Structure 1
Amino acid sequence: MAFGQLSVKGRALRLLAGREYSRLELERKLAAKEPDPGEVKQALDELQAKGFLDEQRVVESIVHRRAGRVGSGRIRQELQAKGIDAERVAVAVASLNATEFERAREVWRRRFGLLPEDAAQRAKQARFLAARGFSGEIVRRVLNTPDDE
């Protein structure tokens, strides 16, 4: 059976077999091929009731996959873009904040490894960390701490 011939629920299950999706993501993907939004809503309601669609699993999946490479700011942004409710986002970000410095330090160490010698290097390293969602305070701490600590 081709992808276009599957039912809405079948297409949703096929997508969920690959990775966790938030409800909003699935609505967007399925609405592109399904003219009846009521059918999409009903299929997603059924999948959610059966536990196939779970926003907490989406949060855990993103945090697990991304925490080693990006800061809590970037993860917050990704979760919000996926339509995760604000309370779950806040809890996930709060749990990441405890390890933010260590994670930023490891990301910095893998990329650079040496403290900046001049203002241009410092700016480059700071932009690198900021682009990955680490806060200004964390960036300053990483760039002001000798590597042997």
Structure 2
Amino acid sequence: MNDPKLTPQALWHCALGLLSRRDHSRLELSQKLRQRQFDVELIEQALDKLEQQQWLSDHRFAVVQVRQHIFKKHGPLRIRMELKRKGVNEAYIEQALAEEDPDWFELALVCYQSRFRNRDIPDIKEKAKRMRYLQSRGFNSDQIRYALEAEQD
């Protein structure tokens, strides 16, 4: 650690700079600081301090991410997968989803309607395409069925 750019103060300023732009999960912030060649032990100490001062919070990060994903019309399966990939604890994910508690069936329908203007499904191939689209957005089979059948009524 002879490099003056890799001091604990530089690490702290870098972490605060990243957090000032947007919330990060602990894992995300750790990875970004490691990419900048900071010492792993110093990173962990800084992250602990940031959590103590409530500048870093996986729960807050999860809540913000859930809201953003719902705004983008993503379903619960995709939201869970994305948050797990970013290192968020399962309990925080479930808590954030419960706090928002959208009607996933209606969100699947809105997502479907915004993507497919022509509501008629001419054949099984087109139906499969539409189902795959909703599946890729993170909706489960019941929610997908609801969206497709609501359009047929």
Q: 89, 93, 99: which is aligned to 2:93?
A: 89
Q: CA deviation at 1:115?
A: 4.0
Deviations along 1:7-40, whole A, 9 cap, x unmatched?
A: 1111111111111101111111101223421111
Residue 81 of structure 2 corresponds to 77
- Distance in 1 separating the partners of 2:141 and 2:100: 16
- Distance in 1 separating the partners of 2:152 and 2:98: 26
Residue 53 of structure 1 corresponds to 56
Residue 67 of structure 1 corresponds to 70
2:18 corresponds to 1:15: yes
- Distance in 1 separating the partners of 2:100 and 2:135: 16
What are the ranges of 5 or more consecutive residues in structure 2 without an aligned counterpart? none
Structure 2 length as normaliser, TM-score?
A: 0.86
What are the ranges of 5 or more consecutive residues in structure 1 without an aligned counterpart? none
Alignment of 1:1-149 (within 5 A): 7-68=10-71, 69-94=73-98, 98-113=102-117, 114-146=119-151
Q: CA deviation at 1:103?
A: 0.7
- Distance in 1 separating the partners of 2:109 and 2:22: 29
Give aligned pairs, total. 145
CA RMSD, aligned part only?
A: 1.9
Structure 1 length as normaliser, TM-score?
A: 0.88
- Distance in 2 separating the partners of 1:147 and 1:95: 32
CA change 1:141–1:97 in 2 (3 A) is farther
Q: CA deviation at 1:112?
A: 0.6
CA change 1:94–1:115 in 2 (3 A) is farther
Deviations along 1:53-98, whole A, 9 cap, x unmatched?
A: 0112101111111113210000000110111111112233445665
Asked if the contact 1:72–1:97 (Cα under 8 Å) also holds between the matched residues in 2, the reply is no
